[in-house]
Amino acid sequence: MCLVADLHIHTVASGHAYSTVLENAKAAADRRLALIGITDHGPNMPGGPHEYHFANLVALPEVLYGVRVLRGIEANIIDQNGSLDLPDERLSKLDVVMAGFHSESFTAGTVEENTAMLINTIKNPWVDVIVHPGNPALQIDAEAVVKAAVEYDVALEVNNSSLVRSRKGSRPYCGRIIQLAKQYGAKMIVGTDSHFALHIGDFSEALQLLAENDVAPDAMLNSSVEKLLAHLNRRTNRLNPVV
């Protein structure tokens, strides 16, 4: 296994996923992952959990089946300013904050508007990772977004699900972002965006796309626990360091 962590994982709490925390942790252990993130959708997603769900993630054990479990969110971008659908008070207590565009929570605009929205999200001091930036439903100036990610030290996700079962047509857009990230030195992370336990740790299509663009897996943040935690702990507003 060249990647040791999968941060983009949903549970039944997301409203349209089909596995529990225990089932996900067991699947990660079977895949020999060292670390996972429980990153359910934010409250603005139809069927998504109330914000109290994220407050009570402290109830989760830190380790399940030998796998370290990070408490997180895939927050929804809800306006042009890059605002997220969880209050800062809640975000400050999470181990990982992923953020992305979902048409259920915000309507895409022009290329210029979409680019500004995503850059504002990158500037948001709570955000660790921008998820599925290669979504073809969100046309952007990819070069401007990648440059902003470098400036504000936010990672860009290569989303395996976008290449397999969701966001059809993502592949060329994802490839473009990978090339730009390679050119400008942006941090990248691979996520499965799993909505069912058996998809956890299956990075195959993302790894193939990285190989096609001459990017080695060890360039990904989740190629080592140490590299990943160093990224998460760069945030000075985090209530507690991630260990």
77 forms beta bridges with 84
**What does the pLDDT read at residue 238?**
87
d(CA 151, CA 137): 25
Q: Are 61 and 69 in contact (CB under 8 A)?
A: yes
61-77: buried (b, 16+ CB within 10 Å) or exposed (e) per residue? eeebeebbbbbbbbbbb
Q: Are 42 and 50 in contact (CB under 8 A)?
A: no
In the three-class reduction of DSSP (H, G, I as helix; E, B as strand; rest coil), residue 151 is classed as helix
**What does the pLDDT read at residue 1?**
55
Q: What is the pLDDT of residues 181-223, one digit of tens each?
A: 999 999 999 999 999 999 999 999 999 999 999 999 999 999 9
**What does the pLDDT read at residue 239?**
86
pLDDT range class, residue 65, cuts 50, 70, 90: very high
Domains in the chain: boundaries: 5-232
**What does the pLDDT read at residue 105?**
87
What does 95-148 look like in DSSP terms, one character per residue?
A: SEEEEE--TTTS----HHHHHHHHHHHHH-TT-SEE--TT-TTS---HHHHHHH
Query: To the nearest whole percent, how much of the chain has pLDDT over 90?
Result: 93
The set of long-range contacts for 124-127, using a CB threshold of 8 Å and a minimum separation of 24, is: 124/82, 124/83, 124/84, 124/99, 125/235, 125/237, 126/84, 126/88, 126/91, 126/92, 126/97, 126/235, 126/237, 127/75, 127/84, 127/97, 127/98, 127/99, 127/154
DSSP 184: H
Tokens of 201: 């740790």
Whether pTM exceeds 0.85: yes
d(CA 60, CA 22): 10
**What does the pLDDT read at residue 166?**
83
Q: Which of 177, 170, 86 is nearest to 127 (CA)?
A: 86
Q: What is the pLDDT of residues 129-142, one digit of tens each?
A: 999 999 999 999 99
pLDDT at 230 over 60: yes
Residues 6+ apart with CB under 8 A from 66: 29
Q: What is the pLDDT of residues 4-53, one digit of tens each?
A: 999 999 999 999 999 999 999 999 999 999 999 999 999 999 999 999 99
Q: What is the pLDDT of residues 82-127, one digit of tens each?
A: 999 999 999 999 999 999 999 898 899 999 999 999 999 999 999 9
d(CA 46, CA 16): 9
For the CA atoms of 199, 204, 206, 207, the dihedral, rounded to the nearest 10 degrees, stands at 140
Tokens of 119: 């850059």
Of 3.20.20.140, 3.40.1130.10, 3.20.20.70, 3.40.228.10, the CATH number of 5-232 is 3.20.20.140
